Amino acid sequence: MSCFLQAPVAHTILSSASSCRTVRRTKALKLRCGALGAKNAAKIPMPPINPKDPFLSKLASVASSSPEALHNGSANPDTPPFLDLFESPKLMATPAQVERSVSYNEHRPRSPPPDLPSLLLNGRIVYIGMPLVPAVTELVVAELMYLQWMDPKQPIYLYINSTGTTRDDGETVGMETEGFAIYDALMQLQNEIHTVAVGAAIGQACLLLSAGTKGKRFMMPHAKAMIQQPRVPSSGLMPASDVLIRAKEVIINRDTLVELLAKHTGNSIEAVAEVMRRPFYMDANRAKEFGVIDKILWRGQEKVMAEVASPEEWDKNAGIKVMDGF
């Protein structure tokens, strides 16, 4: 009986010793793995963290105060990891309000970009790229007034690509007073006005081009300028007396336009009135000769044109004798 009882006891003692050795080996293995993992983790480069990122800032705060909250995980299995740490459901601001992590996007804008006219206005540039209708006049005059209020000493740059108060096919789309309104606003400004023709400056737009500060009126080399008489708007079903009244008003506007063009181009009223009998087109060189602009904006263009020989010189150098009458 005694032998029968001692056998199980010895077996139990051996099993317990073996279990203890197994536990010690397991702990030692865990310690080695942990040390190895820490050693390898020290070699892994960590990306830079944006301190302004609210999500990462919140995680760092929770990890320093109560790290067990990160180990326990989310109580709700339907919730993504770590979302239960935040009281508000809004974890991140919109991309336009806060810069995201610098590790993947450090140049993201903090605010929505402004519209293009606002960017040009910030550079003191007013661009007229449409016929002179009431909406365009309202915007241009407002921009001119604003730029003078911002700084009455800095120049204002007026870029013009407009067919004036008519469309490109000649149909009237605005009253002549639209052009006169912008012109009067320009004359009231204390700033220097640098005018630049890009594309076309026709009719009232050509007047605005010539109304810039002397010496600061420019034209692109392939732009066109044209002056013409004001056109009578569509009379529709007006009675004859009303048509006559409107025709008289157009003549008054024509005379005013002639006087202003003569003033800014340096030509006589008679000379301007003569060329305005029909549409008078001018390229950059002709516009400079007529006095509409002062300079052509083309690097080296004026030097090249000055070095070009006249047709007579070409004939003389080529040995060609020009006969009288030809």
* Fold entry, domain 114-313: 2-enoyl-CoA Hydratase; Chain A, domain 1 (3.90.226)
Task: State residue 275 phi and psi, 5-degree precision.
Answer: -75, -20
pLDDT at 85: 58
The per-residue pLDDT for range 217-259, each reduced to its tens digit, is: 999 999 999 999 888 766 667 787 888 888 888 899 999 999 9
- How many beta carbons lie within 10 A of that of residue 77, not counting itself? 6
175 within 8 A of 131, measured Cβ to Cβ: no
- Written as six digits, the tokens of 2 are 């005694």
pLDDT tens, residue by residue, 81-112:
655 555 544 444 444 444 444 444 455 555 65
pLDDT of 166 over the 60 cut: yes
Residue 172: DSSP 8-state: B
Strand partners, 218: 196, 295
Q: Could you tell me if 182 and 212 are in contact, meaning their C-beta atoms sit under 8 angstroms apart?
A: no
What value does the mean pLDDT take over residues 130-135?
A: 92
Give the pLDDT confidence score for residue 95 in this predicted structure: 46
pLDDT single digits (tens) 4-29:
444 444 444 445 545 555 556 555 55
* CB-count exposure of residue 298 (10 Å: 0-12, 13-18, 19+): middle
**pLDDT number for residue 175:** 87
Residues in a beta bridge with 128: 160
On whether the pTM is more than 0.85, the answer is no
| Phi and psi angles of residue 35, each rounded to the nearest 5 degrees, phi first | -65, -40
Burial of 71 (0-12, 13-18, 19+ CB in 10 A): exposed
Band of residue 283 on the pLDDT scale cut at 50, 70, 90? very high
* Predicted confidence (pLDDT) at residue 140 exceeds the cutoff of 60: yes
pLDDT for 99 equals: 43
Closest CA to 131 of 95, 171, 102: 171
Q: What's the CA gap between 68 and 18, in Å, rounded?
A: 34
* 73 backbone dihedrals φ, ψ, rounded to 5°: 85, -175
Which residue would you say has higher pLDDT here, 11 or 210? 210
**Average pLDDT over all residues of the chain:** 75
Residue 291 and residue 219 in contact, taking contact as beta carbons nearer than 8 Å: no
Q: Tell me: pLDDT of 123 over 70.
A: yes
How far apart are alpha carbons 291 and 207 in whole angstroms?
11
